Chains A and B, each alone.
Chain A
């Protein structure tokens, strides 16, 4: 797990990229807690979202969970290969398991999120 990741309480991670975009996925902890993933719904490219708004859903045998935007912005790319290969989420949650790329309205919004150690403390509590 890289030090440039930030985490939302709702278990999404976000990583600022050199091109000004930010990549979003879900944490290894969340994927492991969900297990037995069966379905994933992604947002359309171009969708404008507010931080905390649902951008899709992940369904496991156990339950359906919403995916939330960690920051406000525009969805500029989605990982369309992911719903057909859900195992990627568990195998490489911070790499090939990325979900969307967002153009953040205000990159400073990422400062409101947790760093890795704060997130780890949250999921251990």
Chain B
């Protein structure tokens, strides 16, 4: 068990490699209750989030989730990336006003909540931090949907099966009301489920009991990290930091500079992002593949022809691939796939090759 942003969390339940492979081959379940869960309700909520987030929110459909950055215009460049987040229009209230949910990183929750509160309008938006009254369980892997649907009655199971990626619905799971979204952080199919905190253990046990005989394993922070690394997903504090250029790290998809009619959107940090996009990023986030199992770690220097061209942001053995991989942010000129680089792993030089991200892509589902 380790301290993680104030939460006591397991790095592993059994072994990182076993948990990782179980998620790729069957299913893994993750207690991700440490993630910050925010609720934004009221008639003004869509417009308010539209004025704050890098991603368009005004045209988000009911039951749709979008990946966004939370930015302010502080800092020398006029841009500070406070976090990356998932914003979901969960459902609409009886009066038609949208109920929005945001999931933010545990390590950034306090400052994101403070920032959002500081921007609240006088009326029309009800903002609450629901982190401590709810719990969140991710079920990921080729059997995840089957296992979760087996715990749902009525038409919930077919509705969850039919959910598209980045879509969400409300369901009764193991007898408890749950928000279910087809999202995750592993590169596998699966769902993330939010339930009331006081039923979290019962729901966890129900999912575990339903899946254990089919190979589902509880997974800790270690496997969560190796899975997202193989899937090429950025992690705040590593690939993505406060002064990141999102276009350099492949997060242009999280930035909508214009609205659907082509008009420039206005949000904190928007002008800086426009300048960055026009200038073009001098650096790029790449994948590095090693022959050996010895992993480069965050901060390991990347060297080409004797010159330091960047640094590793995350690195580990990739259990699915059987060799070490890393993500690095390096000079664009050295970022073409198949480029040979040297990585300084502690006192040793480890040769590596630039490869496209992700390292791992799940096989297409059988028809």
Q: Which of A57, A59, A61 has the most CB of B within 10 A?
A: A61
Q: How far is the CA of A60 from the CA of B16 in the complex (A)?
A: 10
Q: Is A118 an interface residue (CB 8 A)?
A: no
Contact (A59, B294) CB under 8 Å given A35-B12, A36-B16: yes
Known interface pairs A38-B317, A64-B346; A59-B295 also in contact (CB < 8 Å): yes
* Residue from the list B12, B222, B293 in contact with A38, Cβ < 8 A: B293
Whether a CB of chain B sits under 8 angstroms from the CB of A62 is yes
Q: Is the CB of B316 within 8 A of A61?
A: yes
User: B297 an interface residue at 8 Å Cβ cutoff?
Assistant: yes
Cβ of A64 and Cβ of B297 under 8 Å apart?
A: yes
Which residues of A approach B to under 8 Å, CB–CB?
35-36, 38-39, 57, 59-62, 64
- Chain A hits for B294, CB < 8 A: 38-39, 59
Question: 7 shortest A-B CB distances, which residue pairs?
Answer: A38-B293, A39-B294, A61-B16, A36-B17, A35-B15, A38-B317, A61-B317
A36 to B12, CA, bound (A): 11
The interface residues of chain B, by DSSP majority, are classed as loop
Contact B15 A36 (CB under 8 A): yes
A39 to B315: give the CA distance in the assembly, Å.
14
Q: How far is the CA of A56 from the CA of B17 in the complex (A)?
A: 23
Q: Which residues of A contact B316 (CB under 8 A)?
A: 61
Instruction: Please give the distance in Å from B288's CB to the nearest CB on chain A.
Output: 16
Chain A: which residue is nearest B223 at the CB level? A61
Q: B326 CB to closest chain A CB, in angstroms?
A: 13
A36's nearest neighbour on chain B, judged by CB, is B17
Whether B17 lies near A61 (C-beta < 8 A) is yes
Q: Which residues of B contact A38 (CB under 8 A)?
A: 293-295, 317, 324
Q: Are B293 and A39 in contact (CB under 8 A)?
A: yes
Q: Is B178 an interface residue (CB 8 A)?
A: no
Q: Which residues of A contact B297 (CB under 8 A)?
A: 64
**B293 touching A62 by the CB < 8 A rule?**
no
Residue A62 contacts which of B16, B292, B319, B324 (CB distance < 8 angstroms)?
Answer: B16
Tell me the nearest residue of chain A to B18, going by C-beta. A36
Residues of chain B contacted by A35 (CB below 8 angstroms): 12, 15-17
